[in-house]
Amino acid sequence: MELYPLKFIPIYINKIWGGNKLKNDLNKNTSQNNIGESWEVSTNKDKVSVVKNGSYKNEKLTDLIKKYPKELLGPSYNKNDKFPLLLKIIDATKKLSVQVHPNDKLAKKLENGNGKTEMWYVLDASKEAKLYIGLKQIENKKQLRKVIKEGKLENHLNEIEVSKGDFFFIPSGTVHAIGGGLMLVEIQQNSNTTYRLYDWNRVDDAGNSRELHLENGIKATNLNLNIKGNQVLLQKKTSEYKQEILCASDYFITNKIYLNGSLSIENENFVLLTCIKNEGKIYYGDNKSEDIKLGESVMLPANIKNVKLKGDMNLLKMYIPESLDQHIRKLKEKGFNKI
């Protein structure tokens, strides 16, 4: 059975730090205010994506995976596999708390769940916008515990001024926070395990601080990470498109596509697309088509054939290869080169 490009009803989550950019700038169809997150593709517990287009309209993604695991996700998946990714768009008008996520081994031990490696792509940034990624002048976990208990962790955060189009790969174990004035795409492992280390000394109306997860957070922190952003790994240019591999890991690959014409998509597993500029069309099968508009996300099932993107638009393409090393070699054989 051949499926088709699947769109899902966004799952909107109100946050005290949320705003209105998702509906004002990305044309999200909602009357809600203070939307902090739009979960674009999710099978996470009570936040399961529901199809909004085509013959499977109103079906849950989890039910489709049970019916068509290999057709939808790829040859190595079965109906008992957990969907491996979670795709969000975030609108932060204020700082989020300082957090860290465990790796797979520690998450299994502490939560019986997955770790969380993620990536951020900045869709929009105010003039003073900042991300906080990694630590500075922290020599060991004993010192880390001390500065957290003294409420001084912000003095040791690696502060990065960011602009639209910046991107950062955030491995599990990285202490991080999103600053205010930012809208970004977040692609991550399918996990919601978060340990809060610091909340900027904020208190609620009753004078109470939010809960911290000090011991597990310190266990999860990797002090030896060297975080770098905006480093394109591989690139390919033609007269109709430019493709940039922004990050490549065992968990996911993110490819930014600048399209001015057409581009054929070959996929061994499922592909997630998010349109980040303008709009275009996805052609598939026997010249069938589906629109993709600014701010929309689409899942291309693994068994879909003859997929071609057409238009004048920019997209993020996110997917998981069967073998990372083999896939990188294939990309180079197809004309991708280091810059």
What span, in angstroms and rounded, lies between the C-alpha atoms of 138 and 135? 7
- Looking at residue 329, what is its pLDDT? 95
Check whether residue 214 and residue 280 sit in a common domain: no
Residue pair 18/35 in contact (Cβ under 8 Å)? The answer is yes
Residues 193 and 295 in one domain: no
Q: Is the pLDDT of residue 203 over 70?
A: yes
Residue 201 has pLDDT above 70, yes or no: yes
Query: Quick one: 276 and 181 in the same domain?
Result: no
* pTM assigned to the model: 0.96
Give the mean pLDDT of the chain: 94
The confidence score (pLDDT) of residue 77 equals 92
Instruction: Kindly state whether residues 143 and 179 are assigned to the same domain.
Output: yes
Q: Of 96, 221, 225, nearest to 168 (Cα)?
A: 225
Alpha-carbon distance of 190 to 209, in angstroms, equals 28
pLDDT of 207 higher than 80? no
pLDDT of residue 205: 67
Q: Is residue 105 part of a domain?
A: yes
Q: What average pLDDT does range 66-87 have in this prediction?
A: 92
Query: Which pLDDT does position 268 carry in this prediction?
Result: 85
Q: The dihedral of CA 334, 5, 75, 188: what is its sign? A: positive
Q: What percent of the chain has pLDDT over 90?
A: 85
Q: Are residues 209 and 250 in the same domain?
A: no
Within 81-213, residue ranges assigned H as helices are: 104-111, 141-149
Closest C-alpha among 169, 164, 167, 144 to residue 156: 144
* Cα–Cα distance measured from residue 339 to residue 330, given in angstroms and rounded to the nearest whole number: 17
Same-domain check for residues 29 and 170: yes
State pLDDT tens for residues 223-237.
998 887 899 999 999
pLDDT of residue 287: 87
More reliable by pLDDT, 195 or 16: 195
Q: Is the pLDDT of residue 318 over 90?
A: yes
- Count of domains observed in the chain: 2
CATH number, residue 247? 2.60.120.10
User: Is residue 229 a part of any domain in this protein?
Assistant: no
Assigned token pair, 337: 């080169």
* Mean pLDDT value across residues 48-72: 96
Q: Please give the pLDDT value at position 122.
A: 98
Q: Are residues 187 and 257 in the same domain?
A: no
* Residue 1 confidence class, pLDDT cut points 50, 70, 90: low
- Regarding whether 195 and 283 lie in a shared domain, the answer is no
Q: Is residue 227 part of a domain?
A: no
Beta partners for residue 184, in sequence order: 90, 122
Residues 6+ apart with CB under 8 A from 44: 86, 190, 192
Give the mean model confidence (pLDDT) for residues 176-205: 92
pLDDT digits (tens, 9 = 90+) for 10-27: 999 999 899 999 999 999
pLDDT at 155 over 90: yes
How many beta carbons lie within 10 A of that of residue 284, not counting itself?
Answer: 21
Q: How confident is the model at residue 40 (pLDDT cuts 50, 70, 90)?
A: very high
Is the same domain home to 215 and 279? no
> By CB neighbour count within 10 A (0-12 exposed, 13-18 middle, 19+ buried), where does 275 fall?
buried
Residue where a domain terminates, one of 185, 220, 255: 220
Cα(8)–Cα(90) distance, integer angstroms: 17
Asked if 199 and 210 count as a contact pair (C-beta separation under 8 A), the reply is yes
Q: Is 202 a catalytic residue?
A: no
pLDDT score, position 310: 98
> What φ, ψ does residue 248 adopt, rounded to 5°?
-140, 115
Structure tokens at 270: 């499922």
Does residue 198 belong to any structural domain of this protein?
yes
Among 196, 202, 210, 329, which one carries the catalytic annotation? 196
What the block records as the tokens of 117 is 């490696």
- pLDDT at position 322 is 87
Rg (CA), the chain: 20
**Greater confidence, 5 or 206?**
5
Q: Do both 204 and 294 map to the same domain? A: no
Residue 269: give the domain boundaries: 234-333
Position 89 scores a pLDDT of: 98
Regarding whether 280 and 208 lie in a shared domain, the answer is no
- Say yes or no to pLDDT of 209 above 90: no
Q: Which pLDDT tens digit goes with each residue over 133-149?
A: 999 999 999 999 999 99
Backbone angles phi, psi at 88, to 5 degrees: -130, 155
Q: What is the pLDDT of residue 131?
A: 97
Residues 101, 195: Cα–Cα separation, whole Å: 6
Please check whether residue 121 lies inside any domain of the structure. yes
CB atoms within 10 A of CB 81: 13
Residue 267 in domain:
yes
- Is the CB of residue 276 less than 8 Å from the CB of residue 121? yes
Neighbours of 224 (CB within 10 A): 6
Q: Is there a domain that residue 99 lies in?
A: yes
Classify residue 225: in a domain, yes or no. Answer: no
Q: What is the mean pLDDT of residues 309-315?
A: 98
Domain's final residue, options 194, 220, 246:
220
In order, the DSSP letters of 197-249 are EE-TT---TTSPPPP--HHHHHHH--TT----BS---EEEE-SSEEEEEEEE-
pLDDT exceeds cutoff 90 at 332: yes
Residue 136 and residue 40 in one domain: yes
